[in-house]
Amino acid sequence: MEQLKEIGKKLSKEHPILTHIGNDQELRKALAVMEMLLEDYDNNLLLIDALTCAIARYEK
Protein backbone atom coordinates (compact mmCIF):
# COMPACT_ATOMS: atom_id res chain seq x y z
CA MET A 1 0.00 0.00 0.00
CA GLU A 2 2.84 2.39 0.83
CA GLN A 3 4.35 1.76 -2.58
CA LEU A 4 1.09 2.79 -4.28
CA LYS A 5 1.00 6.01 -2.27
CA GLU A 6 4.54 6.84 -3.37
CA ILE A 7 3.71 6.11 -7.00
CA GLY A 8 0.65 8.37 -6.72
CA LYS A 9 2.69 11.20 -5.21
CA LYS A 10 5.34 10.89 -7.91
CA LEU A 11 2.74 10.86 -10.67
CA SER A 12 0.98 13.93 -9.24
CA LYS A 13 4.29 15.76 -8.96
CA GLU A 14 5.30 14.95 -12.54
CA HIS A 15 1.81 15.60 -13.98
CA PRO A 16 0.06 18.10 -11.72
CA ILE A 17 -2.99 18.44 -13.99
CA LEU A 18 -4.06 15.01 -12.73
CA THR A 19 -4.89 16.63 -9.40
CA HIS A 20 -5.19 20.37 -10.01
CA ILE A 21 -6.09 22.53 -12.99
CA GLY A 22 -5.53 26.22 -12.35
CA ASN A 23 -6.34 28.00 -15.60
CA ASP A 24 -7.85 27.63 -19.06
CA GLN A 25 -4.52 26.70 -20.64
CA GLU A 26 -4.15 23.78 -18.22
CA LEU A 27 -7.76 22.82 -18.91
CA ARG A 28 -7.06 22.64 -22.64
CA LYS A 29 -4.01 20.47 -21.94
CA ALA A 30 -6.07 18.22 -19.64
CA LEU A 31 -8.74 17.79 -22.31
CA ALA A 32 -6.09 16.87 -24.88
CA VAL A 33 -4.58 14.33 -22.49
CA MET A 34 -8.06 12.96 -21.77
CA GLU A 35 -8.65 12.42 -25.48
CA MET A 36 -5.42 10.48 -25.72
CA LEU A 37 -6.18 8.39 -22.61
CA LEU A 38 -9.64 7.49 -23.89
CA GLU A 39 -8.07 5.74 -26.89
CA ASP A 40 -7.08 2.93 -24.49
CA TYR A 41 -9.83 3.27 -21.91
CA ASP A 42 -9.34 -0.04 -20.09
CA ASN A 43 -5.64 0.47 -19.46
CA ASN A 44 -5.99 4.14 -18.52
CA LEU A 45 -9.07 3.98 -16.29
CA LEU A 46 -7.35 5.25 -13.13
CA LEU A 47 -5.74 8.17 -14.95
CA ILE A 48 -9.03 8.99 -16.67
CA ASP A 49 -10.78 9.01 -13.31
CA ALA A 50 -8.16 11.29 -11.74
CA LEU A 51 -8.24 13.69 -14.68
CA THR A 52 -12.05 13.71 -14.75
CA CYS A 53 -12.10 14.76 -11.09
CA ALA A 54 -9.53 17.51 -11.69
CA ILE A 55 -11.54 18.85 -14.63
CA ALA A 56 -14.77 18.77 -12.61
CA ARG A 57 -13.14 20.68 -9.73
CA TYR A 58 -11.85 23.35 -12.12
CA GLU A 59 -15.21 23.76 -13.82
CA LYS A 60 -16.97 24.41 -10.48
Domain boundaries, the chain: 12-59
Whether 31 has a pLDDT exceeding 90, the answer reads yes
State mean pLDDT over 43-50: 94
Average pLDDT score over the chain: 93
Between CA 34 and CA 9 the distance in angstroms is: 20
pLDDT top residue among 4 and 40: 40
| Contacting residues for 19 by C-beta, under 8 A, at least 6 apart | 12, 50, 54
pLDDT of amino acid 27: 97
pLDDT of amino acid 37: 95
State mean pLDDT over 27-49: 96
pTM: 0.84
